[in-house]
Structure 1
Amino acid sequence: MNAAIRAQALHASLGGVEVLHGVDVVLPGGKWTSIVGPNGAGKTTLLKALAQLTPSRGAIELLGRDARALPMRERARRIAWLGQNEGGAEDLLARDVVMLGRLPHQEWLGPATAQDHAAAQAAMEQTQCWDWRERPLGQLSGGERQRVLLARALAVRAPVLMMDEPLANLDPPHQADWLRIVREHVQRGGTAVAVLHEITMALHADEMVVMDAGRIVHHGACADTATHRAVERVFGGRVRVREIDGRPVALPDETPAHP
């Protein structure tokens, strides 16, 4: 298997408390992998550790290279990041926020090139936020801001796209647009990894990593029934995965829990 990201014996702590307990994972290249699990499972910490955005111990390989040995600039060209609840300078224009995604490609203190501007515009058109390119970030709604931040990540044009709760504040039509964007990235040979709370959307991925208590309890194809049962178990039976129109769908189980 062509691995985009490989980690072995990965440990990470927050506030002196270990969150990841020796995680081993291989994320295939040219596919979309979703990461799901209950609150506090370690999903975001795992994603940040793989992206080298939080301190960790263990081996991490990125596109065949030792990720820890990569210069920061080169790593920023290989991974595009979209975090949850990301802020920014509220007075920055939307187009300038997106242009930040081009910094890894620019010379130090050098001007943006025509290629940089073209990449930023293409990303904003892809996420349907080009029309408010002249508006400050602080004047945008939550959904509009999220689309600008997604455009910033797409403007990097990195082979690996890593996203933490990318559907926050997006209405259903724009969630569908996000799904199309991820699929197009993968079809071009890219790799996508996304932490999602929306289990049904996560089941659209090629593969799913199911986490609980800082460990990976299952990793398999989203189409496999073993993956569906793992999702049900990790949520304590409060979610049921059923097939509707040939697609797996996660439904809440309203059966009262027995004392």
Structure 2
Amino acid sequence: MPTSTPPVVLARDLEVALGGRPVLEGVSFHVEDGDAVAVVGPNGAGKTTLLRAIAGLIPHTGTLELRGRDVADWKARARAREVALVRQQTDLSVAFTAAEVVALGRSPHLGWTEGLGTDDDDRVRRALEAVDLADLAHRPVTELSGGEQQRVALAQALAQDAGLLLLDEPTAHLDVRHQLDLQARLSRLVLEGRTVVAAVHDLELAARFATRLWVLHQGRLVADGPPTSILTSGLLRDVFGVNADVEVTTGEVRVRYLDVAR
């Protein structure tokens, strides 16, 4: 009998504690190939911790599997060929050029003493073009703005060519033009077969690119489903503590914030 393909990520009763303090409790979900998941929630809800756990960077209890194997059982280089994480805060303090930083994304695919080949160079070039930084390829990253550095980090993840892309607040430091460009790019990546899980603050942005919305509140996953079903005035009041009007038209979600819920 044929065996079913395991999910990209599977969690059951996932728990993470940092410094002895529980951050995630009883979290269960699955991510399938081609999913576009937006993770939303108030500050301190556990969004960044969840992404770091999926990336295999912090210990956990409960079940957390990548392609059917516990994330902790993957060797780092093999895991990096499956998962790319773009952190909210980029640390680009070394005077590498943008192209050199992006080229580091090819490391999981190379032998220990192997240099970049023609295909690797091509992937680096295309990744820089994808984030509108081709003209700054040879500029030291220390001379770039915060938004440009964020785009370099995204290009590095694209060059890494992992099937699962984890993004922690990817619109941080980006101007409006590049926020909209990123939203369109995430949608294209999913159409091309990538799987995306992104923690975002902008609920309308989340609704535009995501096929599923995860709502974290006090370390628990309190909602999982299509954005048009999940985003309601009641949820915004109960989870985010705000009164808001939510309008859904032809699959689009519009949120008009009114005041703080009392």
Deviation at 1:145, TM superposition (A): 0.9
* Aligned pairs for 1:88-237 within 5 A: 88-204=92-208, 205-224=210-229, 226-228=230-232, 229-237=234-242
Q: May I ask how many residue pairs the two structures share in their alignment?
A: 256
Q: Is the 8 A contact 2:231 2:246 kept in 1?
A: no
User: Is it true that 1:76 corresponds to 2:94 in the alignment?
Assistant: no
In the alignment, the residues of structure 1 paired with residue 261 and residue 194 of structure 2 have an alpha-carbon distance, to the nearest angstrom, of 42
Partner of 1:247: 252
Q: Is the 8 A contact 1:2 1:29 kept in 2?
A: no
In the alignment, the residues of structure 1 paired with residue 243 and residue 199 of structure 2 have an alpha-carbon distance, to the nearest angstrom, of 19
In the alignment, the residues of structure 1 paired with residue 245 and residue 60 of structure 2 have an alpha-carbon distance, to the nearest angstrom, of 34
Deviation at 1:230, TM superposition (A): 2.9
Deviation at 1:124, TM superposition (A): 0.3
Amino acid paired to 2:79: R
Identity %: 38
What are the ranges of 5 or more consecutive residues in structure 2 without an aligned counterpart?
none
Amino acid paired to 2:149: R
Cα RMSD (Å) of the superposition?
1.8
Q: Is the 8 A contact 1:210 1:230 kept in 2?
A: no
SS of aligned partner of 1:53: coil
SS of aligned partner of 1:101: helix
In the alignment, the residues of structure 2 paired with residue 38 and residue 240 of structure 1 have an alpha-carbon distance, to the nearest angstrom, of 18
Partner of 2:26: 22
TM-score normalised over the length of structure 2? 0.92
Amino acid paired to 1:17: R
Distance 1:257 1:231, change over 3 A: closer
Amino acid paired to 1:109: T
Deviation at 1:2, TM superposition (A): 6.7
C-alpha deviations, 1:14-63, integer Å up to 9, x for none? Answer: 22211111211112321200000011111111111111112212211212
Query: Structure 1 residue aligned with 2:14, among 3, 7, 10?
Result: 10
TM-score normalised over the length of structure 1? 0.93
Deviation at 1:222, TM superposition (A): 1.2
SS of aligned partner of 1:223: helix
What are the ranges of 5 or more consecutive residues in structure 1 without an aligned counterpart?
none
C-alpha deviations, 1:160-192, integer Å up to 9, x for none? Answer: 000000001111111111112211111122210
Deviation at 1:79, TM superposition (A): 0.5
Deviation at 1:88, TM superposition (A): 2.3
Deviation at 1:244, TM superposition (A): 5.6
In the alignment, the residues of structure 2 paired with residue 186 and residue 244 of structure 1 have an alpha-carbon distance, to the nearest angstrom, of 23
